[in-house]
Each structure stands twice: as C-alpha cells, then as structure tokens.
Amino acid sequence: MVDHLTPSLDTVFQALTDATRRAMLRSLADGDRNIGELAAPFEMSLAAASKHVKVLERAGLVRRLVKGRTHICRLEPAPLAAADEWLRFYEQFWNLKLDALEALLKAEDGAPPKGKPR
C-alpha cells in the first residue's frame, strides 16, 4: 500500500537537484535557521529563499515553524535516510562490479604475456 503521507523518493531527489537547496540543508544540519539566515550566503531575496524552502518542505526535508513574522526552518532527516538506503543498493552493485574488475586485472597481471611460455 502506498503511504500518501510520506513524500516520495522522486520528490526528495527532485528537491536535491538544486545546489542552493543542498546548501540550505547543509546549513540546517548545524541547527535551525530563519529564512534570512538561509538566504544570506546567496544573492537572493527572502521570497526566493522561501520558494526553495517550500520545495524542501514538500519533500519532507524541512519543517517550518512560524513565530510571529519569523519563519524558523528545521532539518527533517528521515527522507534523506530513505534516499541513502535506495542509493546503497547501487553502491553495493558497483562495488561488486569493481571487485570483479580488480580480480580480472590482477589475474591478467599474473598471466604470462601472449606468445611466451612461462
């Protein structure tokens, strides 16, 4: 059964396609930030920063708390864990392929040159 309350992996990866949003997430890993603090390293308006935060919110990566006129953002790492789990399959896949290549190259290094007996 599909859980409609959990952001899809597609939404998470789409949110991570933008370098600004990845930098914002990195900043939030150090602690909560307001929109102005998230916008500060970039030459962007608060409205533009807020749009980036909305994308991160839709992906479930950020939670926004409103205190008066201040919007405080907090990292929600669970969707990143799901993305990491998905990527680990391919990490294992490529590690197996690279291990096989390494074994093949080592076997070739130990084999005699073509046309010359050992």
pLDDT digits (tens, 9 = 90+) for 31-53: 999 999 999 999 999 999 999 99
pLDDT score of 6: 56
pTM of the model: 0.73
Torsion of the alpha carbons at 44, 7, 73 and 84, rounded to the nearest 10: -90
Give the pair of three-digit tokens for residue 45: 């308006």
In 3D space, the residue among 48, 52, 53 whose CA is nearest the CA of residue 63 turns out to be: 53
Q: How confident is the model at residue 4 (pLDDT cuts 50, 70, 90)?
A: very low
The sign of the dihedral angle between the CA atoms of 77, 80, 82, 84 is negative
- Is the confidence at residue 28, as pLDDT, over 80? yes
**Coil, helix or strand at residue 4:** coil
The residue ranking higher by pLDDT, 44 or 113, is 44
| Topology adopted by domain 9-76 | Arc Repressor Mutant, subunit A (1.10.10)
The residue ranking higher by pLDDT, 68 or 95, is 68
